[in-house]
A and B are shown apart, each in its own frame.
With several copies, the nearest count.
Chain A
Amino acid sequence: MELKKIIEALLFASQGPLKIETIIEITEKSAAEVNQAISELKNAYEEKQSPIQIIEIAGGWQFSTKRDFAPFIRKLFKEETTLKLSSSALETLAIVAYKQPITRAEIEQVRGVEVIAVLKTLVEKNLVRTCGKKDTVGTPFLYGTTQQFLIYFGLKSTDELPSLEEINVEGEQQ
């Protein structure tokens, strides 16, 4: 059986990037042979202008669809790519983002309403996580934003949020 085709099948079925070492182990071929086959396979996909490409990512090789087809694929995953957030969730999220680490009681202090359900939703959506406990009566959980939060909102880090200190200074002038 042709090595190129075995690799193609492996790349197809793999659930993540496939390491060269794994391919070598499975096919029992040399690194040179495997590299040569991947290179040929990659070129073949490029030449026939396939909507699928072979890319090197995270230390391995992987199939992916070309960027041009994203609009169609996005439609297919419409449910998954739509993050559903209520306005109360958005408000709570903003408070956590700016005041992290923050306890539930502190968020409720700002919003004036119970936030336990909203916080739970935000944690489930992987936007907010617990990040330790506050050294105070009852040692309540402290909440902060996740990396996912930064990705969703297109931020490099929480430092990119408009500075809170600046706002506070303005407040003190009153």
Chain B
Amino acid sequence: MEYGIKLEIFEGPMDLLLHLIQKSDLDIYDIPISKITSEYLAYLNLMKEMNLEVAGDFLIMAATLMRIKSKMLLPQHEDEDEEEFEDPRAEITKRLLEYKKFKEASKVLKINLEKQKDVFFRKTQPEFTVEDFGIDVSLFDLMDAFRKVLEKAKKSSKEIIKEEFTIEDKIRIILSLLEGKKFVSFYSIFLKDESRYSVIITFLALLELIKISQIYVRQNEAFSEIRIYRKIS
């Protein structure tokens, strides 16, 4: 049966209705509502016979069509002005025209899509090397973060009663790390600090050394490590 093949391609009641109108070459502005309603219902029955689930949307449209049909059967009042008379089909005609517009538009889009599929763009990102990278963290940011840790540490310093290192100790350690070397990594000076307190002491030692111009801290290039250099006087 002809319907059998077409069954699945309808995108909804609007699509089915439009198909029924176009199939019989009917005037969308003057839909023979009785004919269309029975064809529509026949189609729904067919769907049921084929054990296809008839979506609620299709049933709502069936109800709408039947309502229009019954309204059409009501006698028209003679005294009613032509202009005031509202065709019960007006609403569905408007909706069908609107739907048809977008169905056509979707065909135009499909043509666009077909044309574009032969056009290829570059997907490859350029390969970046180390020097292409920047970092959003400056040494200042890092110091600022430490300052915050320091503030926090002050509040909880009562817990830490015994600390084996003093700032002087740490200064000595940093300087000894630098001995015979041009520089050491910023991180390396904290590596044997097992507690937060110890980290803070090391940091304070670092600040002290900067203050007394024994060392300077710099980042040679974007994203390279932060290094501590001994000042040569």
Contacts and interface: CB of A to CB of B under 8 A. Distances in A.
B223 A152 contact: yes
Interface stretch (A22-30, A37-45, A62-70): A62-70
A82 B188 CA distance: 24
A136 interface: no
Interface string B100-128: 11111111111011011111111111111
A137 interface: no
Nearest to A55: B119
Contact of A62 (B95, B99, B112, B121): B121
Q: Specify the main secondary structure of chain B where it touches its partner.
A: helix
Given A94-B187, A113-B55, A162-B184, A65 B108 contact: no
A98 B152 CA distance: 26
Contact of A154 (B119, B124, B185): B119
A98 B191 contact: yes
Interface in A150-174: 151-155, 161-162, 164, 166-174
Q: Specify which of B112, B164, B192 lies most central, judged by the most chain A CB atoms within 10 Å of its CB.
A: B192
Given A94-B109, A111-B14, A88 B145 contact: yes
Q: Specify the main secondary structure of chain A where it touches its partner.
A: helix
B113 A83 contact: yes
B141 interface: yes
Nearest to A164: B101
Contact of A82 (B14, B134, B176): B134
A171 B18 CA distance: 13
Contacts, number: 222
B9 to A, nearest CB: 7
B194 interface: yes
Nearest to A71: B118
Contacts of A153: 109, 112-113, 116, 130, 223-225
A74 B132 contact: yes
Given A81-B128, A168-B192, A87 B109 contact: no
Interface of B: 9, 11-15, 22, 55, 57, 61, 95, 97-110, 112-113, 115-128, 130, 132-137, 141-142, 144-146, 164-165, 169, 173, 176-177, 184-185, 187-188, 190-196, 223-225
23 contacts: A13-B121, A62-B124, A64-B120, A65-B126, A73-B126, A74-B128, A83-B133, A87-B141, A110-B95, A110-B98, A110-B193, A112-B12, A112-B57, A113-B12, A113-B55, A153-B223, A154-B112, A154-B116, A164-B102, A167-B101, A167-B104, A171-B192, A173-B22
